[in-house]
Amino acid sequence: MTVDLDGRVLCFDGAILRDLDFSLLSKLRKGGLFVVRSPGGEARTTTWLSDFLRERLATVIVYDYCLSACASYLLVASSETYVIGDTIVAWHHTTWPLCPVLRDAIDGGPRRLEQDACSDAAPVYGPAMFALKELEETFFASRLLRFPYEDPPESIPVRRVLKSMFESTGTYPNVLWTWNPRYSSAAFKTKITYEAYPSSQAELDALVARYGLGTYVIYDP
C-alpha cells in the first residue's frame, strides 16, 4: 500500500488480509482516489475497508483485475467506481471445503449453483456460513437499489454454464465469472463506470493469460 505526499491517491495491490498494515489509510484525504488491483481476500476485512472508503467519500479505481471479495465489496465500496479498460472483474463462491448445492434463484430463472457446509463438515462451518451471510446482508443493505440480492451475482447465461460444468464432472467447478455491467447499474447505488467491458470469451481469455491468473473465467455476454 502506498499513498502520495498530499494524500489524494492511495494505491493497494495484493490480497486483502486481516494482518496487513492499514495505517496508511489514515493519510487518504476525503474525496481522494483509492486505486486497487486485488485477487480478493478475507470478507470481513474487505467490508471494513469498503466502509472506510465510503466514510472518506473516496472514488475507487480498479485496474488489471479485481476478483472474489474485491469484486463483491470494493467494487461497490463508495459512491463511484471506475474500471479501467482491459480489467477483469470476476466473482466466485467461497473456496472453503464445502459441498455444491443447487438452489432456486430469486429471479425465478435457472437454479443457482452454490456451496454449503457438507453433512460431515466440521461443526465450525455451519456457524461460519451463517456469519458470512449476516455480514453480506449488513454490507449490502445500504448499497443496493433493489432487494433481495444474491452474492456472488450470477446472470442466467453464467448459471447455465456453471450448472452444465457441475453436471458433467459431479464437482463444483473451480472457476470465476464476470457479470455484465448492465446488471450492476440496476442493482447498486454506486455509479460503476467500465471504460471497456471485454467483448468476448476470447478477449477475456487473453486478459487472464496476460495477468497470469491461472484459472478459467466464464464470460457473461
Set of cell numbers at residue 1: 500500500
pLDDT at 97: 64
Between β-strands 99-103 and 59-67, what pairing exists: parallel, antiparallel or unpaired? unpaired
- Average per-residue pLDDT for the chain: 91
Average pLDDT over residues 44-73: 97
Cβ contact 19:44 at 8 Å: no
pLDDT at 118: 75
pLDDT tens digit sequence for 109-120: 888 988 877 776
pTM over cut 0.85? yes
Cβ contact 74:51 at 8 Å: no
Average pLDDT over residues 25-54: 96
pLDDT interval class at 25 (50, 70, 90): very high
CA–CA dist 65, 86 (Å, integer): 9
CA–CA dist 32, 14 (Å, integer): 20
pLDDT at 137: 87
Domains in the chain with CATH codes: 2-218 (3.90.226)
Of the listed ranges 117-121, 185-189, 200-204, the least confidently predicted one is 117-121
CA–CA dist 195, 126 (Å, integer): 40
Cβ contact 139:74 at 8 Å: no
pLDDT tens digit sequence for 130-177: 777 788 889 999 999 987 888 999 999 999 999 999 999 888 898 999
The end-to-end CA distance of the chain, in Å, is: 34
Cβ contact 75:88 at 8 Å: no
pLDDT interval class at 95 (50, 70, 90): low
Set of cell numbers at residue 17: 488480509
CA–CA dist 136, 85 (Å, integer): 28
pLDDT at 124: 67
